[in-house]
Amino acid sequence: MTSKVLAYMESLSPAARSLILRAMQNAGARGDEILATEAVIAAIGNLPEAARVASPNPVAATPAAPVAAGLGWRERLDAAGLAPFAAITIDTVLPLKQTGRIARSAIEPIWTWIIRDVARREWEEALAADPGDPAADAGPVARRFRKAAVPLVLTRLRETEADPKGWQKLTVHLGGETVARELRDVIYVLQRDGQFLTLSAQLPKTIGLAEATDSAQLVAVVRTAVEQVQIDAAFVGAAILSRVAAPWLLGPLALRLAATQDARLLAGSRYARMIDIALSEAERDVTLVRSRIADRRERMKVGGALRDFHDILRNLQFAFEIETVPHWFKRIGAARRDMSELIGKEIEAAPGLIRRALRVESLAGSFGGGFDVSTFEDAEFAVRLLGEARLASDNLALNDLIVRTRKQVEQTLEVLNGKLFADLKSNQAVDRAALIAAVDGAVKLNGLVFGEDYAAVLRKSREQGVAKAATRFG
């Protein structure tokens, strides 16, 4: 039993678990989104010429250093083996599977299944090929392993599909449906690993507005990859998304590639898949908002995800008449509905949260002390989110709620301002420290709602009130 446990543990992939952490630590890419970093894509070097993407205007693939030099052979081999996935993996599990985007959490169990259960002998041969040099590039050995593993994986998949309960068994083995649904995309990439690495090398490190709308070189690289090499445009779009300055830029780029400004013609072209990728990013923002609302440590990032969501949908609508295409219209509508439901619940509570945070209802209307920081943070979050919702209202089904809640927040603050500043100047026997904290909180909320100029006036009144109270109470 001990030997079996040891063998099982040795077959697991610690590098797969730590690969993304290392990439995140070293990246300068897109925050919590896809990270295509030097450490991850360094295996691009030394590609066989036959695997390179031919291009009418070829972009030379930049030679890279060996993957994660200085790590153990197994860790370097893991990192090199996973290199083709670097540009298309995401940290979020999408609510609906989007071809071309693979959840990072699914990569490790699938990779472990391949090296432990499907191609174990080939993996052991790769491990045995350790050159004994801490700086040796694991890329060539990893490529040979992937090439040997692909037919074995395909055979196993056919056997699984032939068994009426085969897919169910594999799903359980991999750890659930959210992992299993990524398997076909993983196999697709493994079958074209050299092409993906070459595409990753040929794409600009950063793609801004100028590249998306004017670069002939970028268009040539993408057209070659899609039309000659026959890489699905969804995967190419996902790779571009990892480097693009804003997801909506996939819209203008897809129009250029399809040589049309007509939404329906674009929808009928192979480059329609790139619009699907852009919309999947808006859906990802919905998922991010949901998870961040549930985590107090992440709540202040909700506004950023809402801004990104609005930015994608607004600019895609500016680029072309996207909503004239029924399936895109339906997808946008579903995303708006889900985002509206999440945001609406949070902002509707803002007036009540403000009253509770500033504690004006205790002791028959007098300030009762005990300023609660946690409650104030809830109120501040709701007020900030209300401001973000106003800016994104065109892509939310919340117009009436936003207007009504905004008015209630303004009225609530006006009432509280009078009460708090009157208490500050009075000689009532209250907890002065707690009262001052509440006044400071009110000033902050007023700044968010009415602007910093008004907050500055209140701040001056606050200082005068504190000074007078200090003189009065000695």
Place of tokens 């006006």: 414
Could you report the per-residue pLDDT of 313-350, keeping only the tens digit for each?
Answer: 999 999 999 999 999 999 999 999 999 999 999 999 99
**Taken in order 261, 267, 273, 275, is the CA torsion positive or negative?**
positive
How far CA 64 is from CA of 25, 27, 211, 234, in Å, comes to 19, 16, 24, 26
Which positions of the chain have pLDDT values less than 70? 1-70, 360-369, 427-430, 469-474
* Contact of 138 with 76, CB cutoff 8 Å: yes
SS3 of residue 195 by DSSP: helix
| Amino acid of residue 11 | S
CA dist., res. 310 & res. 343, Å (int): 13
